[in-house]
Amino acid sequence: MKWGLRSVAVMTKSIFEPMERDDGYRILITRFYPRGVQRSHFDEWVSALSPRPELLFGYKEGKIGWDSFRDSFLSQLKSDIESQEAIHTLYEWSRTHDVTLLCFEKSGRPCHRHIVRDVIENPKLVGVGFGTQDSNNHERVAMQRHVPNQETSLVARLS
């Protein structure tokens, strides 16, 4: 890191924790909308980065352990095109902007948001490599579905 510059980060926290300026772009990654949470507590909701209900409930009910949950969730992310598009988008976005991934689970407990953070930071975990040469129009259009254009969202929010 050069003097005077800070690095950007992909962070995680519970949607119920207070918002902080350092959170950057806040992305809710739950399958179900959280009761009692106002839309103003996050910038975008990307359900494609959440576990399928049967996987989530299997883990929550103790039918599968964390390692099995993690492996199954990584397989899900790898096989789902919408998840892949979201990972690609956030991989690119997080290179220049802070991102905070949000879900229900309290801090300090195992949670899928930590897996998603690791995948965004290293997409090869799900067998995907992204390069700057990925500039085909289909991918650009798909990316716009997940993280809005900077002029319409971040600039307006930070002004």
SS (H, E, C) the chain: CCCCCCCCCEEEEECCCCCCHHHCEEEECCCCCCCCCCHHHCCEECHHHCCCHHHHHHHHCCCCCHHHHHHHHHHHHHHCHHHHHHHHHHHHHCCCCCEEEEECCCCCCCCHHHHHHHHHHCHHHHCCCCCCCCCCHHHHHHHHCCCCCCCCCHHHHHC
Q: What is the pLDDT of residue 49?
A: 96
Ordered by start, the domain boundaries in the chain are: 10-150
Share of the chain above pLDDT 90, in %: 55
pTM comes to: 0.76
State the average pLDDT over residues 69-82: 95
Q: What is the pLDDT of residues 139-157, one digit of tens each?
A: 433 444 444 434 443 323 3
